[in-house]
Amino acid sequence: MEIIYAETFFRRLVGLMGKRDFDKILVFSNLKDSSIHTMFMHFEIDVYFIDENRIVFDKATLKPWRFYRPKKQAKYIMETKRGNLNLKIGDKLDFL
């Protein structure tokens, strides 16, 4: 599965807004805040919050027009269409 890195302000701002479908993984980095929203999105997404050790510490499945804030600040956030990945809290990622 292709990974797209959203490292700039503009890429993080746009994210998946307006997309009708998405078969890739979008990875956000250089974060000042870990809260996310699904405004202007057309499908459900799985969101994985990852710490500085590349370990998944929180996961949320969100419908369009929702907000979510994890319990702590993430180093990375991964978004993908619901069901595309089967990651669990505690999994360590080696591709970040």
pLDDT tens profile 16-71 = 666 777 788 889 887 888 989 888 889 999 999 999 999 999 999 999 999 999 99
Q: Is the pLDDT of residue 81 over 80?
A: yes
In 2-75, beta strands by DSSP E: 3-6, 25-28, 36-37, 45-50, 56-62, 67-68
The pair of structure tokens assigned to 27 is 């990875």
Handedness of CA 37, 64, 29, 93 (dihedral sign): positive
CA distance linking residue 7 with residue 21, whole number of Å: 21
pLDDT, residue 44, reads 94
Q: Is the pLDDT of residue 82 over 90?
A: yes
User: Per-residue b/e over 85-94, b at no fewer than 16 CB within 10 Å?
Assistant: eebeeeeeee
85 and 93 in contact (C-beta within 8 Å)?
no
Q: What is the pTM of this model?
A: 0.87
